[in-house]
């Protein structure tokens, strides 16, 4: 059973590698949990095949080379088509709608349509068209909707040229797919690569296959929408994404060892996010920050009190020397207020005494002048 911490480490490593290559994924934290990191538990009664059901709810085949299970319908259909890879226009030519309808009904009723004697009457183009219909009707596309735009963006970065950092971003994004989706996509693209290898017979080289398969795996504009230059560019880019996935099918859902090694080294050099030591250090850092804010608050209180009580400069200079004001910061607010008040009151008394002395001198001087004038 996979380790959830290893899965989360893989997701974080992929996200950081994508960011370094210029590809950003919105709401990437959603990929840390749920179906993106592990397969849901299947129920006993979820073994009947039907179109329009989620992959994990369908009958499965356990494939060793895929390291897990793949929907049985997809395996049976591809194995049947592998015997008819010489068919011209495979996946391009549309099958008979009446035969496809009967084949679909037989599959949903549990008939073994890919075994003799039923398989003897099957037509390759009917089966290929039914596979495309199966992919279109999946409630959750093989390529998740959240990652379709980043896939096209990563492909665009690579096509622009001169940006080596964007290389292989599209393949790296497939590592974020749900495991069941990445396995099914890897299996199907591997089969498409085998089909393209017979292009001299079936006239379906990898570019043609990507062009006809892309609308079944990626969200494309509605059929009635006007074909503009932007729409044409988008369709071309989507086909380029599928072409890349077909050529490098063995790398779908795989994280390069170099990226995982860097993530492991980074994890070992830093404490775990949910570890006690990290929380203790984080708490200590917050405490120190709050303590610093408290010390600043005391200083601000002192400065505010000083600015309010200070009447200005006197003829003797500042009310307090700078050393006294700095020392007062370390004291409590009450003591600081007391020292400031006493200093201000003393200065006022000194000013009052100086003023009284000067007025008395002026009065005495006037009295002397009056006395001398009378005597004259």
319 CB contacts (<8 Å, ≥6 apart)? 310, 343, 344, 347
Q: Is the dihedral of CA 130, 133, 138, 139 positive or negative?
A: negative
Whether the CB-CB separation of 195 and 209 falls below 8 Å is answered with: yes
Model confidence band, residue 325 (pLDDT cutoffs 50, 70, 90): very low
Of the two residues 256 and 222, the one the predictor is more confident about is: 256
Percent of the chain with pLDDT strictly greater than 90: 44
Of the two residues 162 and 188, the one the predictor is more confident about is: 188
Q: For the chain, what is the radius of gyration of the CA atoms?
A: 40
Of the two residues 137 and 22, the one the predictor is more confident about is: 137
Give whole-number Cα distances, 334 to 94, 300, 308, 330, 331, in Å. Answer: 90, 14, 15, 12, 8
Residue with tokens 């989620």: 54
Backbone angles phi, psi at 220, to 5 degrees: -110, 160
Whether the CB-CB separation of 212 and 133 falls below 8 Å is answered with: no
Question: How many other CB atoms are found less than 10 A from the CB of residue 340?
Answer: 21
Please give the pLDDT value at position 266. 56
Is pLDDT of 370 > 90?
A: no
Question: Tens digit of pLDDT for each residue in 118-177?
Answer: 889 999 999 999 999 999 999 999 999 999 999 999 998 888 865 455 568 899 999 999
Of the two residues 228 and 121, the one the predictor is more confident about is: 121
Is pLDDT of 180 > 60?
A: yes
- Token digits for 356? 């009284």
Question: Do the strands 68-71 and 60-63 form a parallel or antiparallel pair, or are they unpaired?
Answer: antiparallel
Is pLDDT of 78 > 80?
A: yes
Average pLDDT over residues 337-361: 51
Please give the pLDDT value at position 27. 80
Degrees to nearest 5, angle at CA 28 with 26 and 33 = 145
Which of the listed ranges 34-38, 93-97, 330-334 does the model predict with the highest average pLDDT?
93-97
CATH topology of domain 4-269: Phosphatidylinositol 3-kinase; Chain A (1.10.555)
Instruction: Enumerate the CATH 1.10.555.10 domain ranges in the chain, comma separated.
Output: 4-269
Please give the pLDDT value at position 20. 85
Is pLDDT of 321 > 60?
A: no
Please give the pLDDT value at position 96. 96
Please give the pLDDT value at position 32. 76
Please give the pLDDT value at position 318. 45
Is pLDDT of 233 > 70?
A: yes
Residue 254's nearest CA partner among 5, 83, 58, 17 is 17
Average pLDDT over residues 101-121: 93
| pTM, rounded to two decimals | 0.68
Please give the pLDDT value at position 247. 96
Give the rounded distance of the alpha carbon of 184 from its chain centre: 24
Is pLDDT of 52 > 70?
A: yes
For the chain, what's the residue count? 376
Give whole-number Cα distances, 271 to 4, 8, 29, 242, 276, in Å. Answer: 18, 16, 20, 40, 9
- Measured CA to CA, the distance from residue 322 to residue 155 in angstroms comes to 66
Please give the pLDDT value at position 167. 66
Average pLDDT over residues 92-114: 95
Average pLDDT over residues 36-45: 55
Residue 62 DSSP SS3: strand
Is pLDDT of 222 > 80?
A: no
- Measured CA to CA, the distance from residue 144 to residue 148 in angstroms comes to 6
Model confidence band, residue 260 (pLDDT cutoffs 50, 70, 90): confident
Q: What is residue 71's DSSP assignment? A: E
Q: What is residue 89's DSSP assignment? A: T
Residue 63 DSSP SS3: strand
Average pLDDT over residues 250-273: 72
Range scoring the smallest mean pLDDT among 10-19, 102-111, 207-216, 296-305: 296-305
- Measured CA to CA, the distance from residue 82 to residue 322 in angstroms comes to 91
Is pLDDT of 263 > 80?
A: no
Please give the pLDDT value at position 100. 96
Of the two residues 86 and 271, the one the predictor is more confident about is: 86
Average pLDDT over residues 203-231: 83
- Measured CA to CA, the distance from residue 301 to residue 335 in angstroms comes to 12
Model confidence band, residue 178 (pLDDT cutoffs 50, 70, 90): very high
Is pLDDT of 334 > 60?
A: no
Average pLDDT over residues 361-375: 63
Q: Return the bridge partners of 253, or none.
A: none
């Amino acid at each position: 059973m996979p380790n959830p911490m290893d899965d989360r480490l893989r997701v974080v490593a992929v996200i950081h590698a994508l960011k370094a290559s210029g590809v950003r994924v919105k709401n990437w934290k959603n990929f840390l949990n749920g179906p993106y990191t592990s397969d849901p538990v299947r129920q006993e009664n979820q073994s009947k095949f039907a179109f329009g059901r989620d992959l994990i709810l369908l009958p499965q085949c356990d494939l060793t080379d895929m390291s897990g299970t793949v929907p049985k319908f997809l395996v049976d259909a591809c194995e049947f088509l592998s015997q008819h890879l010489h068919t011209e226009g495979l996946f391009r030519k549309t099958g008979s709608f009446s035969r496809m309808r009967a084949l679909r009904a037989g599959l949903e009723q549990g008939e073994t349509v890919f075994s003799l004697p039923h398989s003897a009457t099957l037509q390759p183009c009917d089966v290929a068209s039914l596979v495309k219909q199966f992919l279109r009707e999946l409630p959750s596309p093989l390529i998740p909707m959240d990652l379709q735009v980043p896939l096209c963006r990563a492909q665009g970065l690579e096509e622009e040229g001169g940006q080596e950092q964007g290389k292989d971003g599209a393949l790296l994004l497939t590592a974020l797919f749900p495991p069941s989706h990445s396995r099914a996509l890897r299996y199907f693209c591997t089969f498409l690569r085998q089909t393209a290898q017979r292009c001299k017979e079936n006239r379906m080289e990898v570019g043609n296959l990507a062009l006809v398969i892309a609308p079944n795996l990626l969200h494309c504009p509605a059929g009635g929408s006007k074909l503009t230059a932007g729409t044409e560019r988008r369709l071309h880019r989507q086909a380029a994404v599928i072409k890349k996935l077909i050529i490098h099918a063995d790398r779908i859902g795989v994280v390069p060892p170099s990226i995982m090694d860097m993530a492991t080294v980074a994890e070992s050099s830093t404490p775990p996010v949910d570890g006690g030591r990290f929380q203790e250090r984080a708490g200590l850092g917050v405490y120190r920050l709050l303590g610093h804010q408290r010390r600043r608050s005391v200083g601000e209180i002192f400065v505010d009190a000083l600015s309010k009580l200070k009447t200005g400069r006197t003829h003797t200079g500042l009310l307090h020397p700078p050393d006294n004001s700095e020392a007062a910061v370390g004291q409590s607010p009450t003591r600081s207020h007391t020292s400031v008040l006493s200093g201000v009151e003393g200065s006022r008394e000194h000013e009052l005494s100086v003023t009284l002395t000067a007025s008395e001198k002026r009065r005495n001087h006037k009295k002397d002048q009056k006395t001398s004038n009378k005597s004259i």
